[in-house]
Amino acid sequence: MFEGFTRRRIDTGEVTINCVHGGQGPAVLLLHGYPQNLAEWAHVAPRLVDAGFTVVCADLRGYGDSDKPACAPDHATYSFRAMAADQARLMAALGHERFAVAGHDRGARTAHRLALDWSDRVSHLAVLDIVPTYDMYDRVTKRLAQTYWQWYFLPAKAPLPERMIGADPDFFYESCLASVGGIGLQDFDPELLADYRRCWRPPEAISAWCSDYRAGASIDLEHDAADLHRKLEMPVLALWGAEGIMQTLFDIRALWEARCTRLSTATAPGGHWFPEQAPAETAKALITHFRRQA
Q: What is the pLDDT at residue 184?
A: 81
What's the whole-model pTM score?
0.98
In this prediction, residue 182 has a pLDDT band, given cuts at 50, 70 and 90, of low
The predicted structure's pLDDT at residue 275: 96
For 46-64, what is the mean pLDDT?
A: 98
∠ at Cα 189 (239, 69), nearest 5°?
75
Condensed to tens digits (0 to 9), the pLDDT of residues 60-109 reads 999 999 999 999 999 999 999 999 999 999 999 999 999 999 999 999 99
Q: How many CB atoms lie within 10 A of CB 139?
A: 12
pLDDT for 195 beyond 80: yes
Does residue 105 have an active-site annotation?
Answer: yes
| Eight-state DSSP code of residue 68 | -
223 is catalytic: no
pLDDT score for 289: 98
CATH 3.20.10.10 correct for 6-290: no
Q: Are 57 and 19 in contact (CB under 8 A)?
A: yes
Backbone angles phi and psi of 261, in degrees to 5: -105, -20
83, 60 in Cβ contact below 8 A?
yes
Instruction: Pick the catalytic residue from 43, 104, 112, 272.
Output: 272
Of all residues in the chain, what percent carry a pLDDT higher than 70? 99
pLDDT value of position 45: 98
Report domain extents, the chain. Answer: 6-290
Residue 112's DSSP bridge partners are none
Confidence at residue 278, expressed as pLDDT on a 0 to 100 scale: 95
pLDDT at 288: 98
- Average pLDDT of 105-128? 98
Kindly indicate the confidence band of residue 163, based on its pLDDT and cuts at 50, 70 and 90: very high
The pLDDT of residue 185: 86
- Closest by CA to 238, choosing from 155, 131, 139, is 131
**Residue 179 binned pLDDT confidence (cut-offs 50, 70, 90):** confident
pLDDT at 181 over 90: no
User: 128 - beta bridge partners?
Assistant: 104, 239
Categorize the per-residue pLDDT at 1 as very low, low, confident or very high, splitting at 50, 70 and 90.
very high
Q: Please, which pLDDT band fits residue 194 given cuts at 50, 70 and 90?
A: very high
Exactly one of 67, 86, 105, 195 is catalytic; name it. Answer: 105
